[in-house]
């Protein structure tokens, strides 16, 4: 299955076109951030620790200084929800429930727990997962109209390696792949289909049991890895024509490993190495959150710097709803860590996600659906009942035509008779005319269906007619002529009408015969096209995946090969386009033929007040109109002088006597119209007036059949149209990707020609001249990153001080900042790779490892502590007070020095630390600090050596 919106969970692709309704932009929403303060644990109680935080209300938490502390008014932290130590996990779940259940509606959702080690992340996430599972199954139970499919996968990131928690036997480390549509995909991650809630719970337990856990000084069962349990929830409406569309979304439960200080966890060996990896990836997470919190214009977001942020990319500022539960230890010994967690939470509040409903169109289901439709239509065509019914209909129409012909001939002969009689009358002996007069008078009034109805009325009418005839017999031949002319005219009209009706009926018959044939042909063609589409359906996917892989390769040889491959692909894409064009034509044909009748029908039906003449002027009236013509009227009383007008009357006047007088006629008509309209109003039936104009055919089945056929065809056309549009989009995308690749190759060739080797240099962005204002923003951003990296990599605090005081945002500092950032990024990665393993020397450069860096930093702090003697006692005491070092305590100097450069997120703290260190090592006085000492040692990255900047000079200054 494929979903257009990125970040959907499925790791398998079945080459399906997909859509996402309502455009491509999702709903913007801030991350939901809640904090949970746990109670003091046994260890903390035994150590007589005290609670240093207070939940002021449901939203605010504040530091509660110890009575003896002389601290300024503490700053309150505000969040979506704050849970006090007494809060139950159920209550905590209520704060994130809506986010979790979004996954049932096709919206990706992520809930993660962040916090210091032993602060209660695992405790909280277990409860949250359990409660979400309950709610999910409750929802499924209450939504019988939808069919749900749930899959689960579990992974952990341990020492920056991804492990499958549902298939841990293999001991494999899973690779992360980049999918152009779905973003980061975990290769070969097992996804189990869930049978029911019990099954789901047992699979979650397996994941938890497989997770890396170890004992530290702070937590007997400390989670040493980040765990992600992912549920993929897909749902489809059970009984609907639209069954090919489903919602699909992932719900991630993320239990992060806790940030920790080696000094507090007493970690060494494997634990220290784990802690290092944990801190590094959490550091990247913090950077990502910080950058996202600044807003969209904060530039590059380093998702790729850790596997955790890569996997969670869409939950951080992307297509997902996200909730973070920050867990806190209340103990005073962890105040700094807790404050850091609160700072993280504060930044996270500012991150905006843009979640949207993921709608999936399954290609398999679509083809199945189309096949079913085709089969249904074929069956309909084959059904003898329906065919018989059609034949019967056709026979009936032919009989009607026959009858009309007879009526027309009759009318014609009457006209001839009249002509003849008229000629006779015009002859001198008028006495021989009574027969003609009599005949004339009766020809006008004799209507077969009036014979046995309403005798009284009929007699009256005959008397009137008799009187009129008497009058006529005494009138001049001139009057008679006029009467005959009038009759002739009416007969002519009737003849025309009859001819038109014949024509219509003929067309209808032809239409029926042809219509079936046409539909059958189209269906056959569609079937063939579906078959063809199925045979080529994998092509686009293959092309896309290959392209994606190729894009990632930067080796020129591969790209050159790619050009050749692309040329061959050109024909595949062209073939696909041709296929689509063919399908489009078929659809157009169907649209032209079938829905046209519907349209005409609706036009007619929607215009009940259309005049009769208007409806007559249509060349081929719709089937319904043909059936609805007041056929009875002109069949039964072809000779009636009112026949032309009478077909606007409904059944109520069908059996009344024909009227001769114009005034009487129009009066009758208006009465009838009145009756009809009032009747319509009474019934509240909007279409009842149209019934008077175009009486519906008695053939209900015929209409039903037409309707069925049209509905089925329309439905087919709609599905296929959507499918074709999707395919077209994909083809366009392929073309675009192809162009991109070609550009890449051209660029590469140009570089080759210029003699550059960009192979190892692919992620070095060009250093550009920035505008001063922009540079200031970038500078601040980069400096913050550098400060955080110094902390993570345990860089010398003297180096930090020098660098911090030297580079204050001159345009000329640009290159130094860039180099320092690169050097530290390299160092961070290097430390993550080697961890605490024995360092290896590279050339003449000093060996680097995490433990050696920590040791070096420790020595440096001891050196600085000694240097404190250079200050007067008053100066020292003032510093101790300011930095909250007990005046009477032992080892005050080292305690004080250990507080410097500890909080990379606090700008004031960083500035003051730098000033103190500078003072202690005499950087300011001697003026022996220059930018040049940070000599830029550019080494080709391919040498794989660190970019050593300024380290030797520090040792020189300090004579270490």
In the annotated binding site for ATP, the residues are 115-122
C-beta closer to ligand ATP: residue 327 or 353: 327
C-beta closer to ligand ATP: residue 156 or 605: 156
- Tell how strand 32-37 and strand 27-30 pair up: unpaired
| 39 forms part of the interface with ligand ATP (CB under 6 A) | yes
| 120 forms part of the interface with ligand ATP (CB under 6 A) | yes
What are the DSSP E strand ranges found in 285-443? 321-328, 352-355, 359-361
Smallest gap from residue 573 Cβ to ligand ATP (A): 51
Smallest gap from residue 121 Cβ to ligand ATP (A): 4
Work out the widest C-alpha separation in the chain, in whole angstroms: 158
Smallest gap from residue 129 Cβ to ligand ATP (A): 13
| 330 forms part of the interface with ligand ATP (CB under 6 A) | no
C-beta closer to ligand ATP: residue 274 or 781: 274
Q: Are 110 and 254 in contact (CB under 8 A)?
A: yes
| 699 forms part of the interface with ligand ATP (CB under 6 A) | no
C-beta closer to ligand ATP: residue 122 or 236: 122
* Of 110-118, 296-304, 411-419, 631-639: span binding ligand ATP (CB under 6 A): 110-118
Q: Is 885 helix (H, G, I), strand (E, B) or coil?
A: coil
| 947 forms part of the interface with ligand ATP (CB under 6 A) | no
Contacts of 785 (CB under 8 A, 6+ apart): 287, 821
Give CA separation, 535 vs 365, 528, 530, 538, in Å. Answer: 15, 11, 9, 7
C-beta closer to ligand ATP: residue 208 or 414: 208
| 340 forms part of the interface with ligand ATP (CB under 6 A) | no
Q: Among residues 4, 81, 121, 421, which is the contact residue for ligand ATP, using CB under 6 A?
A: 121
Smallest gap from residue 775 Cβ to ligand ATP (A): 40
Smallest gap from residue 86 Cβ to ligand ATP (A): 9
| 222 forms part of the interface with ligand ATP (CB under 6 A) | yes
- Tell how strand 245-255 and strand 109-115 pair up: parallel
Contacts of 811 (CB under 8 A, 6+ apart): 769, 770, 772, 775
Q: Is 845 helix (H, G, I), strand (E, B) or coil?
A: strand
For the annotated binding site, the residues are 115-122
Round to whole Å and give the CA distance between 777 and 784.
11
Q: Where in 245-274 is the site for ligand ATP (CB under 6 A)?
A: 257-258
Smallest gap from residue 44 Cβ to ligand ATP (A): 10
Round to whole Å and give the CA distance between 741 and 736.
9
Q: Are 949 and 845 in contact (CB under 8 A)?
A: no
Smallest gap from residue 334 Cβ to ligand ATP (A): 11
C-beta closer to ligand ATP: residue 26 or 120: 120
Smallest gap from residue 224 Cβ to ligand ATP (A): 8
Neighbours of 944 (CB within 10 A): 11
Taking residues 413 to 452 in sequence order and writing x for each that binds ligand ATP by CB under 6 A, - otherwise, the string is: ----------------------------------------
| 327 forms part of the interface with ligand ATP (CB under 6 A) | yes
| 223 forms part of the interface with ligand ATP (CB under 6 A) | yes
C-beta closer to ligand ATP: residue 131 or 369: 131
| 469 forms part of the interface with ligand ATP (CB under 6 A) | no
Q: Among residues 40, 62, 123, 898, which is the contact residue for ligand ATP, using CB under 6 A?
A: 123
Smallest gap from residue 214 Cβ to ligand ATP (A): 9
Exposed/middle/buried for residue 901 (C-beta within 10 Å: 0-12, 13-18, 19+)? buried
Give CA separation, 564 vs 392, 542, 619, 745, 872, in Å. Answer: 64, 16, 58, 11, 77
C-beta closer to ligand ATP: residue 328 or 576: 328
Where residue 23 falls (left for φ over 0; alpha for ψ -120 to 50; beta otherwise) is left
* Of 36-44, 48-56, 286-294, 645-653: span binding ligand ATP (CB under 6 A): 36-44
- Burial pattern 21-44, b for ≥16 Cβ within 10 A else e, equals eeeeebeeeebbbbbbbbebbeeb
| 115 forms part of the interface with ligand ATP (CB under 6 A) | yes
Q: Among residues 16, 20, 34, 41, which is the contact residue for ligand ATP, using CB under 6 A?
A: 41
Nearest to 854 by CA among 831, 825, 833: 831
C-beta closer to ligand ATP: residue 207 or 494: 207
> Phi/psi of residue 114, each to 5°?
-130, 140
Contacts of 923 (CB under 8 A, 6+ apart): 801, 802, 805, 917, 929, 957
Smallest gap from residue 119 Cβ to ligand ATP (A): 4
* Of 114-122, 285-293, 819-827, 832-840: span binding ligand ATP (CB under 6 A): 114-122
| 117 forms part of the interface with ligand ATP (CB under 6 A) | yes
Smallest gap from residue 277 Cβ to ligand ATP (A): 13
Angle between helices 477-536 and 455-474 (to 10 degrees): 130
Element (H, E) at 228: strand 226-237
Q: Are 255 and 376 in contact (CB under 8 A)?
A: no
C-beta closer to ligand ATP: residue 114 or 816: 114
C-beta closer to ligand ATP: residue 266 or 611: 266
Q: How far apart are the first and last CA of the chain?
A: 63
Q: Among residues 38, 230, 310, 339, which is the contact residue for ligand ATP, using CB under 6 A?
A: 38
Q: Among residues 5, 16, 108, 119, which is the contact residue for ligand ATP, using CB under 6 A?
A: 119
Q: What angle do CA 725, 730, 734 make, to 5 degrees?
A: 145
Q: Among residues 2, 34, 102, 122, which is the contact residue for ligand ATP, using CB under 6 A?
A: 122
Smallest gap from residue 223 Cβ to ligand ATP (A): 3
Q: Among residues 16, 118, 153, 279, which is the contact residue for ligand ATP, using CB under 6 A?
A: 118
C-beta closer to ligand ATP: residue 86 or 682: 86
Q: What is the DSSP string of 690-753?
A: HHHHSPPPS-HHHHHHHHHHHHHHHHHHHHHHHHHHHHHHHHHHHHHHHHHHHHHHHHHHHHHH
Q: Residues in contact with ligand ATP, total (CB under 6 A)?
A: 18
| 154 forms part of the interface with ligand ATP (CB under 6 A) | no
Q: Is 227 helix (H, G, I), strand (E, B) or coil?
A: strand
* Of 219-227, 441-449, 579-587, 686-694: span binding ligand ATP (CB under 6 A): 219-227
Contacts of 927 (CB under 8 A, 6+ apart): none
Q: Among residues 219, 279, 659, 737, which is the contact residue for ligand ATP, using CB under 6 A?
A: 219
* Of 33-41, 383-391, 406-414, 415-423: span binding ligand ATP (CB under 6 A): 33-41
Give the pair of three-digit tokens for residue 583.
Answer: 């399908």
* Of 201-209, 218-226, 737-745, 843-851: span binding ligand ATP (CB under 6 A): 218-226
C-beta closer to ligand ATP: residue 259 or 547: 259
Smallest gap from residue 122 Cβ to ligand ATP (A): 3
C-beta closer to ligand ATP: residue 331 or 587: 331
* Of 118-126, 134-142, 374-382, 739-747: span binding ligand ATP (CB under 6 A): 118-126
Q: Is 144 helix (H, G, I), strand (E, B) or coil?
A: coil
Give the pair of three-digit tokens for residue 103.
Answer: 């996954």
Q: What is the DSSP string of 620-683?
A: S--HHHHHHS-HHHHHH-TT-TTHHHHTTS-GGGTTSPP--SHHHHHHHHHHHHHHHHHHHHHH
Residues that bind ligand ATP (CB under 6 A): 38-39, 41, 115, 117-123, 219, 221-223, 257-258, 327
């Amino acid at each position: 299955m494929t979903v257009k919106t990125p970040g959907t969970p499925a790791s398998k692709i079945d080459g399906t076109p997909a859509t996402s309704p309502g455009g491509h932009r999702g709903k913007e929403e801030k991350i939901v951030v809640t904090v949970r303060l746990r109670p003091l644990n046994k260890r903390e109680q035994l150590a007589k620790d005290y609670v240093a935080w207070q939940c002021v209300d449901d939203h605010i938490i504040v530091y509660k200084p110890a009575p003896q502390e002389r601290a300024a008014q503490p700053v309150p932290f505000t969040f979506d929800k704050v849970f006090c130590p007494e809060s139950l996990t159920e209550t905590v779940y209520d704060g994130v429930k809506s986010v979790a259940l979004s996954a049932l509606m096709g919206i990706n959702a992520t809930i993660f727990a962040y916090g210091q080690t032993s602060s209660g992340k695992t405790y909280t996430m277990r409860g949250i997962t359990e409660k979400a599972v309950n709610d999910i199954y409750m929802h499924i139970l209450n939504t019988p109209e939808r069919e749900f499919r749930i899959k689960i996968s579990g992974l952990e990131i341990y020492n920056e390696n991804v492990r499958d928690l549902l298939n841990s036997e293999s001991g494999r480390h899973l690779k992360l792949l980049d999918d152009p549509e779905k973003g980061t995909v975990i290769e070969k991650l097992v996804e189990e289909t869930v049978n029911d809630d019990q099954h789901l719970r047992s699979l979650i337990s397996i994941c938890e049991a497989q997770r890396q856990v170890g004992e530290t000084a702070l937590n007997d069962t400390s989670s040493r890895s980040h765990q992600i349990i992912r549920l993929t929830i897909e749902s489809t409406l059970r009984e609907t024509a639209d069954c090919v569309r489903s919602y699909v979304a992932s719900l991630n439960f993320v239990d992060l490993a806790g940030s920790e200080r080696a000094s507090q966890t007493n970690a060494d060996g494997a634990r220290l190495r784990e802690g290092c990896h944990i801190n590094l990836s959490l550091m990247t997470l913090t950077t990502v959150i910080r950058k996202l919190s600044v807003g969209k214009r904060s530039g590059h977001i380093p998702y790729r710097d850790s596997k955790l942020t890569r996997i969670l990319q869409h939950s951080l500022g992307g297509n997902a709803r996200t909730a973070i539960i920050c867990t806190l230890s209340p103990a005073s010994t962890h105040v700094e860590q807790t404050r850091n967690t609160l700072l993280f939470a504060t930044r996270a509040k500012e991150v905006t996600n843009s979640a949207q409903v993921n709608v999936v169109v399954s290609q398999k289901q679509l083809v199945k659906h189309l096949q079913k439709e085709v089969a249904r239509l074929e069956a309909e065509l084959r059904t003898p009942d329906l065919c018989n019914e059609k034949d019967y209909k056709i026979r009936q129409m032919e009989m009607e035509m026959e009858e009309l012909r007879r009526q027309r001939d009759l009318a014609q002969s009457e006209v001839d008779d009249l002509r003849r009689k008229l000629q006779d009358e015009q002859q001198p002996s008028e006495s021989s005319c009574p027969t003609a007069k009599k005949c004339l008078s009766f020809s006008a009034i004799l209507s077969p269906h009036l014979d046995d109805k309403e005798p009284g009325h009929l007699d009256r009418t005959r008397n009137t007619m008799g009187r009129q005839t008497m009058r006529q017999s005494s009138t001049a031949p001139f009057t008679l002529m006029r009467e005959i002319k009038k009759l002739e005219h009416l007969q002519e009209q009737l003849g025309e009408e009859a001819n038109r009706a014949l024509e219509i009926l003929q067309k209808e018959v032809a239409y029926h015969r042809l219509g079936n044939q046409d539909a059958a042909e189209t269906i056959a063609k569609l079937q063939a096209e579906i078959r063809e589409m199925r045979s080529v359906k994998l092509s686009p996917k293959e092309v896309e995946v290959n392209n994606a892989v190729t894009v990632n390769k930067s080796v020129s040889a591969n790209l050159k090969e790619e050009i050749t491959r692309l040329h061959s692909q050109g024909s595949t894409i062209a073939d696909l386009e041709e296929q689509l064009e063919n399908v489009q034509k078929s659809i157009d044909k169907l649209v032209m033929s079938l829905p046209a009748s519907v349209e005409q029908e609706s036009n007619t039906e929607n215009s009940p007040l259309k005049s009769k003449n208007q409806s007559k002027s249509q060349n081929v009236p719709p089937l319904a109109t043909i059936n609805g013509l007041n056929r009875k009227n002109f069949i039964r009383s072809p000779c009636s002088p009112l026949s032309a007008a009478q077909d606007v009357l409904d059944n109520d006047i069908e059996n009344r006597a024909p009227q001769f007088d114009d005034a009487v006629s129009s009066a009758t008509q208006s009465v009838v119209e009145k009756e009809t309209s009032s009747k319509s109003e009474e019934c509240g039936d909007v279409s009842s007036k149209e019934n008077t104009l175009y009486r519906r055919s008695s053939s209900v089945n015929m209409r039903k059949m037409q309707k069925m056929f049209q509905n089925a065809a329309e439905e087919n056309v709609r599905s296929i149209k959507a499918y074709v549009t999707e395919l077209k989009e994909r083809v366009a995308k392929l073309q675009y990707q192809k162009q991109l690749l070609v550009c890449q190759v051209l660029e590469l060739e140009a570089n080759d020609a210029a003699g550059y080797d960009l192979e190892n240099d692919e992620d070095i962005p060009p250093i550009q001249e920035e505008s001063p204002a922009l540079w200031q923003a970038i500078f601040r951003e980069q400096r913050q990153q550098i400060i955080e990296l110094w902390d993570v990599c345990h860089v010398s605090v003297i180096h930090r001080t020098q660098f911090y005081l030297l580079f204050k945002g001159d345009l000329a500092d640009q290159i130094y900042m860039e180099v320092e950032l690169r050097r530290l990024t390299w160092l961070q990665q290097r430390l993550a790779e080697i961890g605490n393993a024995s360092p290896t020397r590279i050339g003449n450069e000093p060996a680097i490892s995490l433990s050696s860096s920590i040791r070096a930093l420790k020595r440096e702090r001891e050196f600085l502590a000694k240097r404190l003697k250079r200050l007067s006692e008053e100066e020292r005491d003032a510093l101790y007070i300011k930095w909250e070092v007990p005046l009477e305590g032992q080892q005050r100097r080292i305690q004080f020095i250990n507080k410097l450069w500890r909080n990379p997120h606090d700008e004031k703290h960083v500035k003051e630390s730098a000033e103190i260190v500078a003072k202690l090592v005499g950087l300011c006085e001697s003026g022996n600090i220059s930018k040049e000492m940070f000599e830029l040692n550019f080494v080709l990255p391919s040498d794989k050596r660190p970019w050593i900047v300024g380290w030797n000079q520090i040792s020189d200054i300090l004579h270490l």
